A and B are shown apart, each in its own frame.
Chain A
Amino acid sequence: QSVLTQPPSASGTPGQRVTLSCSGSNSNIGILTVHWYQKLPGTAPKLLIRHNDQRPSGVPDRFSGSKSGTSASLAINGLQSEDEADYYCAAWDDRLRGAVFGGGTKLTVL
């Protein structure tokens, strides 16, 4: 059972907008920032969004992040086939004194 909760799966068609959710608590997302990672099979994770809504250089502006209260969202506009991957949210947990990941959402592009 992960500290951060993500739906296990999501799907969309090319060109569509999809939103992935991440739910936490007042010891992590509620008081600290959220980060999002993309994981493709056989490759290392890639940082997509840091500190709730900041895109590292090189990340397409189709990806955006937001946070409200103890929840966060990753939105992907103009879905493309190469976006098919696992997506993880992460945060620091002040009670656990460590970083925590969500269980991940497997995104399928239909």
Chain B
Amino acid sequence: DVILMESGGDLVQPGGSLRLSCRASGFSFSDYAMSWVRQAPGKGLEWVSGVRGSDGIRYHADSVKGRFTISRDTSTSTLSLQMNGLRVDDTAIYYCAKSSVGDYIESMDVWGKGTTVIVSS
């Protein structure tokens, strides 16, 4: 079975940092693009960051550029999201997701259960 399991969500103060992890299993991790997608309370889905499987090129949404960094470790099949300079509006459930084919970051067929990040003083 293809499984994605997120961890690292927590309560953090504004301006703080957090690192999310997503452990993948059941597929060839380096063959697929991976993404982080979030949903703030009462809001819609927002794509946050993605990394291509073929070449590791990384992309970030404008809302997190310069603050968040996506990375992957193909030796442990782990996707990470380093979140710095956290703001109240970063509060959300963060999902890890796998592309359905190759480097199509926006087509995500397997999702984790999500990990909750709360930014509050």
Contact = CB atoms under 8 A, between A and B. Distances in A.
Interface of A: 2, 33, 35, 37, 39, 44-47, 50-51, 56, 86, 88, 90-92, 96-104
How many interface residues does chain B have, given as a range? 20 to 34
A92 B106 contact: yes
A101 B59 contact: no
B21 interface: no
8 contacts: A44-B111, A45-B37, A45-B45, A45-B111, A50-B101, A99-B106, A100-B47, A104-B45
B113 interface: yes
Contacts of B37: 45, 101
A56 B62 contact: no
Nearest to A90: B106
B61 to A, nearest CB: 5
B1 interface: no
